[in-house]
Amino acid sequence: MSLSAIPLPAGATLQAGRGGLPCLAIDTPACTGEIYFHGAHVTAWQPHGHGPVLWMSRHSAFEPGRPIRGGIPVCFPWFGPHPSDPSRPPHGFARLSPWTLDRVERRIDDAVAVTLSLRTGADDLRHWPHPCALTLEATFGRQLVVALSVRNDGDSPCMFQEALHTYFAVGDVRQVAIEGLAGTTYVDKVRGGEHFRQDAAPIGFTGETDRVYLDTESTTVIDDAAQGRRIAVEKQGSRTTVVWNPWIAKAKAMPDFGDDEWPAMVCVETANALDNALTLAPGDGHRLQASIRVE
């Protein structure tokens, strides 16, 4: 179906976005929002009465073949570097692929639900031999609910990792505390991938932070003292939470991330990664969901 044949409800507008990439803009009494078809990438969500909840880099690329920096990148079918081939793109091909807009619906509570889909293509299959059908549903309302569904369309078991790699806008990361992960074991990528156990205190930020919290289904809360705001991230179908801030040197090393932008963001990612990778039998499916609200 061509894009113009998809009926759009009031409050949803098809646009040529940055770099000329197609996107859908949402504007309803509940919120404003934006999603690009490139990567099925949510780039904005702002419930009325609040500031922007998602962070976007001013230096992000918006072009085919490159990831968007900020918002909610969809990582699939691997997380971080490819497990055996460093020439493959980090965090997989889903965030680099053009997704198809399937439908847009307005709900009774003024939320707008946008559904996009992706089938693994011939180029993907050369490097990752599993035909899969992916669906991303983003519901923009007083809450933002993002769900990634994966179905194994092949005839052998399919193992994958995935993440909704959400960048949150904060006043100053040095005054942020993340609650909800006390007692959880994490892999610390900044300390050589060693395992540690989170103590009872909320997570604070005093340097580069890159942690993969395993076997946790807990809701996390981002307590943003500088903005006087709390954001809750509730999840379903997710056993991993990743917490990331690049700090000074890593921010400088990334071409699509401004040198001075790191204090204004923190990633809290709803994932299944590392030891929590999933295996789907032929025909089986899995749904990963994050529900984000300002408290």
Comparing CA positions, the residue from 267, 212, 272 lying closest to residue 54 is 267
Q: Minimum Å distance from CB 34 to ligand BG6? A: 19
| Residue of 80, 98, 131, 237 that binds ligand BG6 (CB under 6 A) | 80
For residue 269, indicate whether it is catalytic: yes
Question: Of 107 and 195, which has the nearer Cβ to ligand BG6?
Answer: 195
Question: Of 140 and 244, which has the nearer Cβ to ligand BG6?
Answer: 244
- What are the φ/ψ torsions at residue 157 (nearest 5 degrees)? -60, 145
Q: Which residue is nearest to ligand BG6 (CB)?
A: 90
Q: Minimum Å distance from CB 228 to ligand BG6? A: 27
**Span 40-69, contacts to ligand BG6 by CB under 6 A:** 67
| Residue of 130, 165, 229, 239 that binds ligand BG6 (CB under 6 A) | 165
Pair of tokens at residue 48: 């009325």
Q: Minimum Å distance from CB 165 to ligand BG6? A: 6
Q: Are 165 and 91 in contact (CB under 8 A)?
A: yes
Q: Any contact of residue 162 with ligand BG6 (CB under 6 A)?
A: no
Total residues in contact with ligand BG6, by rule CB under 6 A = 10
Q: Any contact of residue 78 with ligand BG6 (CB under 6 A)?
A: no
Handedness of CA 181, 165, 113, 231 (dihedral sign): positive
| Residue of 261, 269, 280, 288 that binds ligand BG6 (CB under 6 A) | 269
Q: Mask: binding to ligand BG6, 84-113, rule CB under 6 A, as x and -?
A: ------xx----------------------
Q: Which residues contact 195 (CB under 8 A, 6 or more apart)?
A: 185, 186, 187, 188
Q: Are 290 and 234 in contact (CB under 8 A)?
A: yes
Question: Of 130 and 165, which has the nearer Cβ to ligand BG6?
Answer: 165
Residues in the chain: 295
Q: Minimum Å distance from CB 231 to ligand BG6? A: 18
Active-site pick, 165, 194, 195, 261:
165
Q: Is 126 exposed, middle or buried (0-12, 13-18, 19+ CB in 10 A)?
A: exposed
| Residue of 189, 230, 286, 287 that binds ligand BG6 (CB under 6 A) | 189
Task: Give how far Cα 140 sits from Cα of 110, 143, 213, 227, Å.
Answer: 9, 7, 27, 22
Q: Minimum Å distance from CB 211 to ligand BG6? A: 8
Lookup result for tokens 């943003």: 224
Task: Provide the 3-class DSSP secondary structure of residue 42.
Answer: strand
**Span 197-236, contacts to ligand BG6 by CB under 6 A:** 210
Active-site pick, 34, 162, 234, 269:
269
| Residue of 37, 93, 186, 244 that binds ligand BG6 (CB under 6 A) | 244
Pair of tokens at residue 149: 């569904």
The torsion defined by the Cα of 50, 53, 58 and 60, in degrees rounded to 10, comes to: -150
For residue 165, indicate whether it is catalytic: yes
Q: Any contact of residue 242 with ligand BG6 (CB under 6 A)?
A: yes
For the chain, how long is the longest CA-to-CA vector? 53
- Asked, as a colleague might, if the bond just before 89 is cis with ω within 30 of 0, I would say no
**Using CB under 6 A as the criterion, which residues of the chain lie in contact with ligand BG6 when the complex forms?**
67, 80, 90-91, 165, 189, 210, 242, 244, 269
Q: Which residues are catalytic?
A: 165, 269
